[in-house]
Amino acid sequence: MRNKVAIVGAAESSKIGHVPEIGQVQLHCDAALRAMADAGLTPGDIDGIACAEEVPWTIAANLGLTPTWVDGTDVGGCAYMHHLRHAVAAIEAGHATTILITHGESGRSRVGTPGLDMMYTENHRQFELPYGATMPPNMFTLPVRRHMYETGLTAEHLAWAHVRQREWAAMNPRAFLRDPVTVDEVMSSTMIADPITKLMCCLVTDAGGAIIVTSAERAKDMPQKPVYYMGGGETVSFNNISQMPDFAHADVFEVASKKAFAEAGVGHDDIDHLMIYDAFAHLPIFGLEALGFCKKGDAGDFIRDGHTAPGGQLPLNTNGGGMCYTHPGRYGMFALQESIRQLRGTAAAQVDGVEVSMAQGVGGMFFAAATAVLTNVA
Amino acid sequence: MAQERVIPVPTPETRHFWDGTTKNELRLQRCTSCEQAYFPPRPFCPNCSSREVEVFTASGRGRIHTFIISRFRSPGFETPYSLAVVELEEGPRMMTNIVGVPQSTDHIEMEMPVEAVFEPVNDEVSLVKFKPAEGKTDAE
């Protein structure tokens, strides 16, 4: 199972950030065309398609694809890690040979889209929405205070999560926020949902990305250094934030990552590079703890003390993350893109000697998660 | 531009709960097999899957389990407003607003004892909100 499938094409849309001149579907297609060029492939070579938010038939129609494998799994921001894991299994099973995964979102400019589909459930409409739980800033933030209460996590710790990622973004010309920022500036930015301030929230941008996978055997003859899929995990759990089983712990991260570690046959010490989907500043903290890199209550200090920053022992969110690089509404694709770049040696803020990267995604408000473990070692 | 609050619309499985709110009753369900009380409403136990469940009226008392003070506007809400998850005495948790106090962290605290109050919306539903509990609560 391990390392039998490789990523041979990977690209983001030509532009990310503020891109009102490109509609949402064309953000998918722009990235797809760039990924195909990256792999030396054409639409005629693609026999599998996966995407979310847009229905796969839209992307197939635009690119002229005739897939024999289709996946539209839509579990929020980590859907792309779900797609990748499914694509790997499909190639191993012979359902397709060359699978394209696309993402595109006009989150900021809202061109060609009615906006982020919150996928409200019936229980949410009856028991949460009437109280003013409308959007991620006033739902995804509810667990923070419980974590603070149980562990002593502070607003300063949350601010450090942004500051450390800004240090990575400073080295990245495509990052939306690059200027140096202080802990005080993050803490005193506009209050959104106490204790979360504006700079503790992810960006809202326009962006797209695409990945192409094929067998490791075929990957040998392709232009880019192959990035192999070692293993992964995926899960779904609860679906209303008020019913989160443990507000101080991301159960879904633990479930998905445990499976990923087992499938990949690696341990924490083997991870050279880590991406944790940061919809908000507390996500990297919940992530480091649930993934087992830190004990509960220790991740805040771990980040503050520089262990995830440039020069640190566990480079984290090295593109700047959703808080500093880009975040159109769903971010999982961009976490994967940075893992791929780091493994190819082409990242803007390249870390030396990266051989194994883990990308952890979240869907909804801790409703779903998926993990990918990738390597450049065959 | 006027934007309205969302009004809950009862469905068959939640009717008992909303009927209760119009009578100032906080109704939960309990599994008769494993005794676990649960919310939100559903016709089978989330713990053991038994369909042998019953409705009962809860005390209305609980504690604030987590909360935010939202400055992020929502239709029909004036900011700042509290958004909380209250853990009821009987075990289940539910989302709500904390009322009867200024909407700030000076007046709303973690684990604060609260009790349910019912805010009529229409003939079918009243919203369940919570205010600081008066007097002593049961020792925990």
Question: Three-state SS string across chain B, please?
Answer: CCCCCCCCCCCCCCHHHHHHHHCCCCEEEEECCCCCEECCCCCCCCCCCCCCEEEEECCCEEEEEEEEEECCCCCCCCCCEEEEEEEECCCCEEEECECCCCCCCCCCCCCCEEEEEEEECCCCCEEEEEEECCCCCCCC
Tell which of A242, A286, A366 to mutate to test the B interface (max B CBs under 10 Å). A242
pLDDT at residue number B7: 93
Non-local (6+) Cβ contacts of A54 within 8 A are: A24, A25, A28, A104
A139 within 8 A of A128, measured Cβ to Cβ: yes
Rg (CA), chain B: 16
Q: How far apart are CA A229 and CA A207, in angstroms?
A: 24
CB proximity A144 to B under 8 Å:
yes
Residue in chain A closest to B97 (alpha carbons) equals: A131
Q: How far apart are CA A160 and CA B56, in angstroms?
A: 47
Taking the CB of residue A370, how many other CB atoms lie within 10 A of it? 35
Taking the CB of residue A378, how many other CB atoms lie within 10 A of it? 10
Tell which of A124, A127, A280 to mutate to test the B interface (max B CBs under 10 Å). A127
Tens-digit pLDDT profile for residues B10-65:
999 999 999 999 999 999 999 999 999 999 999 999 999 999 999 999 999 999 99
pLDDT at residue number B140: 42
Q: How far apart are CA A90 and CA A92, in angstroms?
A: 5
- Strands A191-194 and A98-106, how do they pair? unpaired
Taking the CB of residue B34, how many other CB atoms lie within 10 A of it? 12
Task: Assign B5 a pLDDT band (cuts: 50, 70, 90).
Answer: confident
CA atoms within 13 A on the CB side of A203: 29
Q: How far apart are CA A332 and CA A370, in angstroms?
A: 9
pTM recorded for the entire structure: 0.97
Contact A133 B95 (CB under 8 A): yes
CA–CA distance from A204 to each of A196, A326, A331, A332 (Å)?
16, 7, 10, 14
pLDDT at residue number A116: 74
3-class secondary-structure state, position A359: strand
pLDDT at residue number B3: 57
Taking the CB of residue B116, how many other CB atoms lie within 10 A of it? 22
Q: How far apart are CA A91 and CA A47, in angstroms?
A: 10
pLDDT at residue number B11: 97
Task: Assign B4 a pLDDT band (cuts: 50, 70, 90).
Answer: confident
Q: Is the pLDDT of residue B136 over 80?
A: no
Tens-digit pLDDT profile for residues B43-57:
999 999 999 999 999
Q: Is the pLDDT of residue B104 over 70?
A: yes
A126 within 8 A of A239, measured Cβ to Cβ: no
Tell which of B13, B28, B85 to mutate to test the A interface (max A CBs under 10 Å). B85
Contact B9 A126 (CB under 8 A): yes
pLDDT at residue number A1: 66
Q: Which residues in chain B have their CB less than 8 angstroms from residue A131's CB?
A: 83, 95-97, 127, 129
Task: State the smallest CA–CA distance between residue B135 and chain A in angstroms.
Answer: 24
Contact B95 A242 (CB under 8 A): yes
- Per CB distance under 8 Å, which residues of B are interface residues toward A? 5-11, 14, 40, 65-72, 74-77, 80-81, 83, 85, 93-97, 105, 110-111, 121, 127, 129
Q: Which residues in chain A have their CB less than 8 angstroms from residue B71's CB?
A: 190-194
Q: Which residues in chain A have their CB less than 8 angstroms from residue B70's CB?
A: 132, 137-138, 192-194
Q: Which residues in chain B have their CB less than 8 angstroms from residue A130's CB?
A: 5-8, 121, 127
3-class secondary-structure state, position A222: coil
Q: How far apart are CA B6 and CA A131, in angstroms?
A: 8
Of the partner residues B8, B68, B93, the one whose CB lies closest to the CB of residue A242:
B93
Task: Assign B1 a pLDDT band (cuts: 50, 70, 90).
Answer: very low
CA atoms within 13 A on the CB side of B127: 22
Tell which of A126, A151, A196 to mutate to test the B interface (max B CBs under 10 Å). A126
Of the partner residues A190, A191, A247, the one whose CB lies closest to the CB of residue B66:
A247
Q: What is the ipTM of this complex?
A: 0.96
Taking the CB of residue B54, how many other CB atoms lie within 10 A of it? 9
3-class secondary-structure state, position A260: helix
- The whole-number mean pLDDT for each consecutive block of 10 residues of chain A, a chain of 378 residues, reads 94 98 98 98 98 96 98 97 98 98 97 83 96 95 98 98 98 98 98 98 98 98 98 97 98 98 98 98 98 98 98 98 97 98 98 98 97 97
CA nearest neighbour of A356 among A372, A368, A369: A372
State the DSSP H helix or E strand holding residue A336, giving kind and residue range, or none if neither.
Answer: helix A332-344
User: What size, in residues, is chain B?
Assistant: 140
